[in-house]
Structure 1
Amino acid sequence: MTGPAEGMPSPEHPCISVVVPTYNRAALLGETLDAILNQSLRPHEIIVVDDGSTDGTAAMLAARYGGLVTACRIPNSGDLAARNFGLASASGDLVAFCDSDDLWHPDFLGAMAALWAAEPRTRVAFANFTILQDGQHGTARKFDAAPPGYWGGLRPVTPDGGAVFDAPIVDRLIHFQPFFPSCMVADRRFLLGIGGWDASVGRVVGTDFATALLLAEHAPFGVVSRPLVEIRKHAGNYSADVQAMNLGDAAILEHVLRRRPSLVQHAAAIRDSAARRRADALDIAFGRHDHAAVRQIYAQLPGGHRGWRTRLKLGVSTLPPPLPRFLGGTLLALGSWRAGGGRG
């Protein structure tokens, strides 16, 4: 009996469905699909969910990828709904997700399959990533930005950077979130069993954070330390706007705390993290001379996060123009403000 064809799933490598949600990304989608099709381990299926595009995405898919991908079209409902539609349509043992502007290294699926082969109980896993911006390939690895001790407790399972947490890691994600949808593979039945992507957050910026927090309640939780994904930053995606991302993450933290009794034990940390993210957003708004946003964000900060620097920023932002821009620029030049933060 001959073995499995080269690049095809084997009994040791579970078959992986790939879901690609897309909305008006016809110009970038082809590069994403080519990277998926060029995986060293072929995907079981590729499901492209067109979330009501109006830019010719359907025609492009039919012309270039007919027979190679399964193209589905739904009314515009947002990325979470598109991912859940693809998840419900998938049939593989595992399901991987890739946004329609991001790029996989050829070994992404192979590394993920190897992790599951080594630890079949794994519920979900994320790979490390770098940034692609304006055609420039970044070298900074996202996982390297984690605070000290963040990766403590990982159990190595593969020789090429695959490892698992054997206990929930919600407490870590509350403060630093290094896991992005395009880096994710999950056990399909498990993900369906917990309700798929948490769509209750609506369309606030950074909607995937709610799902990451949900996944972090379960173990084994896998990571691949090799940077096997490039996340594209451009004017058309929200993740380029750190101020909006911080505000979205703060809203999501408070939202999940209200909805999930399992998170009550983390309530103090969640509230503190939400406040810190809003404070970072206020710093960024002040640096942009967006003084209306400074006033709006300040009103949402608890008293413990209204230090003298923050109160001074508010005072400057309430002055009549052109004083806020002049005084704000002067204070920024003097280095009076801590640098704005951003999603972990």
Structure 2
Amino acid sequence: MPPDPVPQEAAPRISVVVPTYNRAALLAETLDAIIGQSLRPHEIIVVDDGSTDGTAAMLAERYRGLVTACRIPNSGDLAARNAGLRIATGDLVAFCDSDDLWSPGFLRAMAALWAAEPRTRAAFTDFTVLQDGCDLAPRKFDTAPPGYWGGLRHVSPDGSAVFDTPIVDRLIRFQPFFPSCMVADRLFLLDVGGWDVSVGRVVGTDFATALLLAEHTPFGVVPRPLVRIRKHAGNYSADVQAMNLGDAAILEHVLRRRPSLGPHAASIRESAARRRADALHIAFGRHDHAAVRRIYAQLPRPHRAWRARLKLGVSVLPEPLRRLVGATFLALGSWGADRKRSSGPRALPGG
């Protein structure tokens, strides 16, 4: 058996922060996966974001002495992560949402990356989506556009690598990183302000922080699917629509607030418009005609293509006629083309 590349005593101390809100039924499985890591975490901090479902009692009964429980008034996942970050004491800090699952080697793979490149600021692993008990294909990193992973410097035999130049332009086009897959240098993350709470509580708020981290290097990538992100079968299309709209709002928000993003202004506006156009097509396929009208009003004129205009026309028809025309339109296959087009930035969670 080969020697351990990162023995426990030589590994960086990794604090784990788990934000949770009313997930008592899922939290135990998440915590068991963290406790069962082949590289023991330095500490596990569970931040209860004002749960009302018995989370506190479950933690006290099952995990006393194993986790540090911190309760805050309900403030959202970003604030909960920052609350955990502020009390963490490790060299590195990892985050895991309370319904996601780490593979046993997640922390060890991250420790190996830092051993190979100690200057790394933040790093993410690949992930798969867990739906109805099954891992869905493809892996998230495999859905990136051609050339996305070009320029990586490989630092270890397992394929782990780092970007040595900022990758903001790549994230504007495609966001493959998810909070439960992230580890960061704790002092660095504190220095840049932690998770960006200025975006409020729209869907996909982690995107703003990913864009912030992407400005700093080395930026690490572990191309193995060491995390399973839960998706619920009933909310897939609605979630993609909301993610695209949330990402568009976040892109515009960070452009207004961060002067460093000025050189990317044109591509940010283009990406925001494209995501809204994709959301419009998804909304039409879901017969959410109120959303079609609302999203169309937010589209810049260059993105009001004939297909979007036609769908807007259908959405303003009286209900009986709208149902007939809309069904005919979908039957002709236009929605199928739109669905293929809409499989870009947020077809899977990526934050």
Give the TM-score taking structure 2 as reference length.
0.94
Per-residue Cα deviation, 1:114-160 (whole angstroms, up to 9, x for no partner): 00000000000000000101111224210000000000000111111
State the partner residue of 1:57: 55
1:5-20 pair list within 5 angstroms: 9-11=8-10, 13-20=11-18
1:15-30 pair list within 5 angstroms: 15-30=13-28
Contact 1:242-1:343 at 8 Å conserved across structures = no
> Deviation of residue 324 (structure 1)?
1.6
Per-residue Cα deviation, 1:159-213 (whole angstroms, up to 9, x for no partner): 1121000010000000100000000000000000000000000000000000000
- The whole-number CA distance in structure 1 between the counterparts of 2:210 and 2:97 is 16
Matching of residue 85 in structure 1 with residue 83 in structure 2: yes
- The whole-number CA distance in structure 1 between the counterparts of 2:125 and 2:329 is 41
1:151-300 pair list within 5 angstroms: 151-234=149-232, 241-300=239-298
Give the 3-state SS of the residue equivalent to 1:86 in structure 2. Answer: helix
> Deviation of residue 342 (structure 1)?
5.1
Give the 3-state SS of the residue equivalent to 1:226 in structure 2. Answer: strand
- The whole-number CA distance in structure 2 between the counterparts of 1:159 and 1:293 is 48
Give the 3-state SS of the residue equivalent to 1:99 in structure 2. Answer: coil
User: What is the aligned-residue RMSD (CA, Å)?
Assistant: 1.7
Contact 1:291-1:317 at 8 Å conserved across structures = yes
Give the 3-state SS of the residue equivalent to 1:265 in structure 2. Answer: helix
Of 77, 99, 108, the residue aligned with 1:101 is: 99
Give the 3-state SS of the residue equivalent to 2:334 in structure 1. Answer: coil
Of 309, 315, 318, the residue aligned with 1:317 is: 315
Give the 3-state SS of the residue equivalent to 2:173 in structure 1. Answer: coil
Give the 3-state SS of the residue equivalent to 2:8 in structure 1. Answer: coil
Give the 3-state SS of the residue equivalent to 1:72 in structure 2. Answer: strand
Which amino acid is 2:343 matched to? G
Which sections of structure 1, spanning at least 5 residues, go unmatched?
Answer: none
> Deviation of residue 238 (structure 1)?
8.8
Distance 1:237 1:47, change over 3 A: farther
Which amino acid is 1:333 matched to? A
Identity %: 81
Of 44, 47, 52, the residue aligned with 2:45 is: 47
Which amino acid is 2:8 matched to? P
Which sections of structure 2, spanning at least 5 residues, go unmatched?
Answer: 347-351
Contact 1:128-1:141 at 8 Å conserved across structures = yes
Contact 1:126-1:179 at 8 Å conserved across structures = yes
State the partner residue of 1:123: 121
Moved over 6 A (4+): 5-8, 235-240
Contact 2:237-2:282 at 8 Å conserved across structures = no
- The whole-number CA distance in structure 2 between the counterparts of 1:240 and 1:210 is 21
Contact 1:47-1:72 at 8 Å conserved across structures = yes
> Deviation of residue 6 (structure 1)?
12
Which amino acid is 2:305 matched to? G
- The whole-number CA distance in structure 2 between the counterparts of 1:237 and 1:318 is 25
Give the 3-state SS of the residue equivalent to 2:93 in structure 1. Answer: strand
> Deviation of residue 235 (structure 1)?
6.6
Which amino acid is 2:9 matched to? S
- The whole-number CA distance in structure 1 between the counterparts of 2:89 and 2:58 is 25
Give the 3-state SS of the residue equivalent to 1:231 in structure 2. Answer: strand
Give the 3-state SS of the residue equivalent to 1:241 in structure 2. Answer: helix
Per-residue Cα deviation, 1:203-243 (whole angstroms, up to 9, x for no partner): 00000000000000000000000100000012798997100
- The whole-number CA distance in structure 2 between the counterparts of 1:244 and 1:342 is 14
Give the TM-score taking structure 1 as reference length.
0.96
State the partner residue of 1:341: 343
Structure with greater helix percent: 2
Q: Aligned pair count?
A: 339
